Amino acid sequence: MTALRGTLSPLVRRSALWSLLSSRIRANNNKTVRSLSQQQHGGAQGTSVLLTGTVDRFGGVTVKLDSSSFPSEIGENAFSELLRDSLDQWKAEGKVAVWLHVPISLSRCAGAASRHGFTFHHARQDRAILALWLGEGQSRLPGFATHQIGVAGAVVDESNGKVLVVQDKNKTKNAWKFPGGLSDPGENIGATAVREVYEETGVRSQFRSLLSIRQQHNHPGAFGMSDMYLICRLSPLTYDINFCTQECLRCEWLNLAELAKTNKTTPITTRVARLLLHGLEHGFDTIDLALEEIPAVYSGMFYQLYHRRLPLELKP
Amino acid sequence: MTALRGTLSPLVRRSALWSLLSSRIRANNNKTVRSLSQQQHGGAQGTSVLLTGTVDRFGGVTVKLDSSSFPSEIGENAFSELLRDSLDQWKAEGKVAVWLHVPISLSRCAGAASRHGFTFHHARQDRAILALWLGEGQSRLPGFATHQIGVAGAVVDESNGKVLVVQDKNKTKNAWKFPGGLSDPGENIGATAVREVYEETGVRSQFRSLLSIRQQHNHPGAFGMSDMYLICRLSPLTYDINFCTQECLRCEWLNLAELAKTNKTTPITTRVARLLLHGLEHGFDTIDLALEEIPAVYSGMFYQLYHRRLPLELKP
């Protein structure tokens, strides 16, 4: 869904008319836009003061209020009337949805839009995106991101069967866990594991495979959204522990067999410790999900794909 | 991070003072809150007109503007001054962050807050959450959900080695793909696969395993966020195709060996077709990630965990 910057229709940008509109907005005359619109409807030029946007292939209109020509001083009531008239037009044209991009400084326009049924689709940093479904039946607009991604790294020292574990300062006290944390935006799963292990323990490591995926909804730490928690297998590059005292109470290289048996841990850590023990004994290929980078179909970018390894002759 | 509903301090709720404040707000006297605050600072009661919130264990303050006692008619400038004075107080108290919950109808308060450095943390439906970091260094506030979850279902008819595939109407034309789509909020991976397969093809199926996980950033269909795309193995419960003509051009039961060889598909479909062929020949246990539901540690809820199956004696 791409769109150019929305703005008022060309007519408005004519300086005389525009300064008239601006001055009336300043005078807090909330009828201005409406009447200006009506005047122009009957005029020779057949244009009116309406919001303009770009139309996507689904029949949705996108209007961006951060165009340089958009009057940043516009009041809540004036924008409400402008939007109402624009909505009348879009409905008459059979548009199915309106996307409204609102810079945070113009948030009063979001308040005005809510009077017409707009709700937040999402907001980030200095911009909110509102949406209104105009089509038949329930909204078919796609939702926004629903999951945070948490990644832990199980750093296994194959020479002695030990694994790097920490005890959290805040959450699960006295429970051994693999160090980990939330992915930064745009960060790959393996990169999060390596970064978090280093930040929490001071140990450098490298990504080997993905071991497990957990999905949990209404997650307490995810602002009511869902959490996807992935545990990776890593190999140590350094061994000296220098753990973060802000986050951790303890940090140790613990025997995998001990971690698999102890009660001082979480069920998922026990499970992965048992997987790792099995891998130590029978080869990690019995527990790994291998990673490959594959070119994305359209974007010229790459994506990361994980699945069980196939015999070589089957790979493309 | 739990918090009670924020409101103005108790003093403000006293009716006489409150109606004074309200009437001054209505008169658009933007100095009101400030001067009222200053009057009270020196007064016998030692209280001032400030926003109050709840403090979490990290030293962050949460203020919710949807309390019934919050003056919904408050203007942008008046709120800006109220917030400025409140920020002075919170900084003096050593608070590290402020979370501001703003109902969409009061969005002008978000605009006012942006003057003080607040940005959007996230927004959904009829509410935006803004945040401001007051602590030292870079913000340590947790981010919001970064990933949308897309799930496809590979419905395999083991009796004849065929799999259910569709050709998209909009995106990858003339390319056979497994039916699928975005998870609804709170929906489990397997449930999305079964639902999407039914909606697109009319075929009922049941979840068997997870086969692959793909992570892709800056995803064109994810509003600039990341996409996690999972392919599940399903077993058919019905076989008659009744495909959705809005979404699909074609829908067929295609021979897996043919799907693994054809150029009329996407690389990830080829890859999973080869995995499935291998599974058909050597048993699906050679390609599956098994699902288990496990009780969550604290919440009394369950989560869903996927990993490779272990020999039985190793399970807890």
Confidence category of residue A113, pLDDT binned at 50, 70, 90: very high
Cα–Cα distance for residue pair B10/B263, rounded to 1 Å: 70
Tell me which chain B residues have a C-beta less than 8 angstroms from the C-beta of A272. Answer: 307
Q: From the list B121, B215, B310, which residue is nearest A188 (CB)?
A: B215
Residue A51 reports pLDDT greater than 60: yes
- This prediction has a pTM of 0.84
pLDDT tens per residue across span A284-299: 999 999 999 888 766 6
Compare all CA atoms of chain B with the CA of A232 and give the residue at the minimum distance.
B307
pLDDT tens per residue across span A114-161: 999 999 999 999 999 999 999 999 999 999 999 999 999 999 999 999
Residue B85 reports pLDDT greater than 90: yes
Residue A45 reports pLDDT greater than 80: no
DSSP category for residue B115: T
- Mean pLDDT throughout A296-309? 82
Q: Among B119, B199, B215, B314, which would you mutate to test the A interface (most chain A Cβ atoms within 10 Å of its Cβ)?
A: B215
**Residue B47 C-alpha, separation from nearest chain A C-alpha, in angstroms:** 30
Residue B139, φ and ψ in degrees, nearest 5: -55, 135
CB contact under 8 A, A278 and B122: no
Residue A199 annotated as catalytic: yes
Residue A229 reports pLDDT greater than 60: yes
**Residue B92 C-alpha, separation from nearest chain A C-alpha, in angstroms:** 23
Q: Is the ipTM of this complex over 0.90?
A: no
pLDDT of residue A298: 65
Alpha helices in chain B (DSSP H): 10-13, 15-26, 32-41, 76-92, 108-114, 189-201, 256-261, 267-282
DSSP string, A174-220: T-EE--EEEPPTT--HHHHHHHHHHHHH---EEEEEEEEEEEESS-G
Residue B295 reports pLDDT greater than 70: yes
Compare all CA atoms of chain B with the CA of A115 and give the residue at the minimum distance.
B105
First to last CA, chain B: 33
- Mean pLDDT throughout B42-69? 79
pLDDT of residue A258: 97
Give the residue among A248, A230, A227 at the shortest CA–CA distance from A164.
A248
Confidence category of residue A43, pLDDT binned at 50, 70, 90: very low
Residue B145 reports pLDDT greater than 90: yes
pLDDT tens per residue across span B220-258: 889 989 999 999 999 999 999 999 888 899 999 999 999
- Mean pLDDT throughout A213-238? 94
b (16+ CB within 10 A) / e for A187-205: bbbbebbbbbbbebbebeb
Whether A61 contacts A97, CB under 8 Å = yes
pLDDT of residue A11: 35
Residue A180 reports pLDDT greater than 70: yes
Chain B stretch 59-118, residues whose beta carbon is closer than 8 A to a beta carbon of chain A: 76, 104-111, 114-115, 118
Q: From the list A114, A213, A299, which residue is nearest B126 (CB)?
A: A114
How many C-beta neighbours within 10 Å does residue A261 have? 13
DSSP category for residue A309: P
Confidence category of residue B10, pLDDT binned at 50, 70, 90: very low
> Which amino acid does the sequence have at A9?
S
Residue A93 reports pLDDT greater than 90: yes
pLDDT of residue B49: 84
> Which residue is listed with tokens 């699928």?
B180
How many C-beta neighbours within 10 Å does residue A115 have? 15
Tell me which chain B residues have a C-beta less than 8 angstroms from the C-beta of A286. Answer: 308
pLDDT tens per residue across span B193-221: 999 999 999 999 999 999 999 999 988 88
- Mean pLDDT throughout A250-257? 97
Alpha helices in B76-205 (DSSP H): 76-92, 108-114, 189-201
Residue B282 near chain A (CB below 8 Å): no
Alpha helices in B256-296 (DSSP H): 256-261, 267-282
pLDDT of residue A137: 93
Tell me which chain B residues have a C-beta less than 8 angstroms from the C-beta of A189. Answer: 215
Cα–Cα distance for residue pair A57/A74, rounded to 1 Å: 30
**Residue A8 C-alpha, separation from nearest chain B C-alpha, in angstroms:** 21
Tell me which chain A residues have a C-beta less than 8 angstroms from the C-beta of B310. Answer: 274-275, 278, 287
Helix pair angle (B32-41, B76-92), 10° resolution: 30
pLDDT tens per residue across span A201-221: 999 999 999 999 999 998 888
pLDDT of residue B314: 53
> Which amino acid does the sequence have at A185?
P
Residue A306, φ and ψ in degrees, nearest 5: -120, 130
Tell me which chain B residues have a C-beta less than 8 angstroms from the C-beta of A266. Answer: 297
Tell me which chain B residues have a C-beta less than 8 angstroms from the C-beta of A305. Answer: 212-214, 268, 271
Residue B300 near chain A (CB below 8 Å): no
CB contact under 8 A, A308 and B289: yes
pLDDT of residue A5: 33
> What percentage of chain B has pLDDT greater than the value 70?
81
Give the residue among A3, A215, A246, A222 at the shortest CA–CA distance from B121.
A222
Residue B96 reports pLDDT greater than 50: yes
Catalytic residue among A73, A76, A196, A199: A199
Residue B81 CA: distances (Å) to CA of B18, B178, B266 = 17, 56, 57
pLDDT of residue B172: 65
Q: What is the mean pLDDT of chain A?
A: 85
Catalytic residue among B73, B76, B136, B199: B199
- Mean pLDDT throughout A43-56? 71
Task: Find the range with the poorest average confidence among A123-137, B18-32, B280-294.
Answer: B18-32
pLDDT tens per residue across span B176-187: 999 999 999 999
Q: From the list A109, A143, A221, which residue is nearest B182 (CB)?
A: A143
Residue A208, φ and ψ in degrees, nearest 5: -120, -45
Q: In what order do the strands lie in the sheet with A60-64?
A: A54-55, A60-64, A97-103, A127-133, A119-124
pLDDT of residue B312: 62
